């Protein structure tokens, strides 16, 4: 029998892996308790956790979290569908690349949060401006990752499909798309992180609901432990969403060695 190393143990392994986080938590608590930092700038972790438990009993907290999630999920989903379609089309049809390639390259490095005032101008203060911003921000990494994945499709796979009777559309659906999946899934991870950045920053600037809004309200009201609790909520949601995406990626790419 092979010895079970600590890292591979299902529970202990997780504890070992995330032990730096426990250290960080301890350092946080200690620095605040010992007065190394101002209590307003960094309330002790225990105080923040108490505020968090207060939130968990408060239905309106779930409403705000739900609103943020809905906006992020809608914007991200639209960006995935359109980005994959656009990226694969750019790789498959010269005229699509000629039309959209320069636009995508131009906007890729631009900080999307700079568009927040514009999206508000176009779509108002409600959901639509946030969803549009998230969609726009995630569209570029999704388009580029799909484009790069599709462009790298091995030509002997396309030839094999042709000689087995595949039409051009068959080749795009049956060969180019699955061949792009590793790159698409990597792009999705980037886009997911971006969706979190964008929902928080757009709600921070102007909104009447959402976790970003809640951060601003608690901060403006001087309820710093509560503010930190909301930030922690965003961090945890981001972490869980990322883990979920990694699990999905493993499933989608299970054919890889």
List contacts with another protein (CB under 8 A): 154, 156-157, 159-167, 170, 174-175, 178-179, 181, 254-257
d(CA 206, CA 195): 17
Please list the helix, strand and coil fractions of the chain in percent, rounded to the nearest 5, in that order.
80, 0, 20
Residue 10 buriedness (CB in 10 A; 0-12 / 13-18 / 19+): exposed
Q: Closer to another protein at the Cβ: 116 or 176? A: 176
- Minimum distance between the CB of residue 159 and another protein, rounded to whole angstroms? 5
Q: Closer to another protein at the Cβ: 37 or 248? A: 248
Here the tokens at position 53 are: 């438990």
d(CA 186, CA 193): 11
- Minimum distance between the CB of residue 178 and another protein, rounded to whole angstroms? 4
- Minimum distance between the CB of residue 243 and another protein, rounded to whole angstroms? 24
Q: Closer to another protein at the Cβ: 9 or 250? A: 250
- Minimum distance between the CB of residue 130 and another protein, rounded to whole angstroms? 35
Here the tokens at position 114 are: 């700079």
d(CA 117, CA 133): 10
Q: Closer to another protein at the Cβ: 143 or 180? A: 180
- Minimum distance between the CB of residue 143 and another protein, rounded to whole angstroms? 22
d(CA 72, CA 192): 8
Q: Closer to another protein at the Cβ: 181 or 188? A: 181
Token pair 């209590």 is at which residue? 39
Q: Closer to another protein at the Cβ: 179 or 230? A: 179
Contact 238, 195 (CB under 8 A): no
H helix runs in 108-223, sequence order: 116-123, 127-151, 155-163, 168-171, 177-205, 211-220
- Minimum distance between the CB of residue 38 and another protein, rounded to whole angstroms? 55
d(CA 121, CA 125): 8
- Minimum distance between the CB of residue 80 and another protein, rounded to whole angstroms? 19
Q: Closer to another protein at the Cβ: 11 or 156? A: 156
């Amino acid at each position: 029998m092979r010895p079970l190393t600590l890292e591979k143990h299902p529970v202990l392994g997780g504890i070992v892996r995330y032990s730096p986080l426990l250290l960080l938590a301890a350092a946080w608590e200690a620095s605040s308790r010992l007065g190394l930092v101002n209590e307003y700038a960094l309330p002790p972790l225990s105080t923040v956790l108490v505020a968090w438990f207060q939130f968990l009993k408060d239905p309106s907290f779930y409403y705000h979290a739900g609103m943020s999630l809905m906006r992020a999920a809608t914007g991200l989903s639209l960006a995935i569908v359109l980005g994959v379609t656009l990226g694969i089309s750019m790789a498959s049809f010269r005229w699509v690349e000629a039309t959209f390639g320069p636009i995508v390259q131009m906007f890729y490095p631009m900080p999307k949060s700079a568009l927040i005032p514009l999206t508000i101008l176009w779509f108002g203060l409600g959901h639509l401006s946030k969803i549009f911003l998230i969609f726009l921000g995630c569209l570029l990494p999704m388009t580029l990752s799909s484009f790069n994945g599709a462009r790298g499709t091995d030509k002997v796979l396309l030839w094999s499909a042709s000689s087995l009777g595949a039409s051009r559309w068959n080749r795009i659906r049956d060969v180019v798309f699955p061949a792009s999946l590793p790159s698409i899934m990597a792009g999705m991870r980037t886009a997911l992180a971006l969706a979190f950045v964008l929902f928080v920053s757009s709600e921070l600037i102007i909104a009447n609901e959402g976790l970003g809004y809640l951060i601003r309200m608690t901060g403006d009201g001087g309820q710093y432990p509560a503010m930190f609790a909301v930030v922690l909520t965003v961090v945890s949601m981001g972490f869980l969403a990322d883990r979920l995406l990694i699990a999905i990626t493993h499933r989608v790419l299970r054919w890889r060695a």
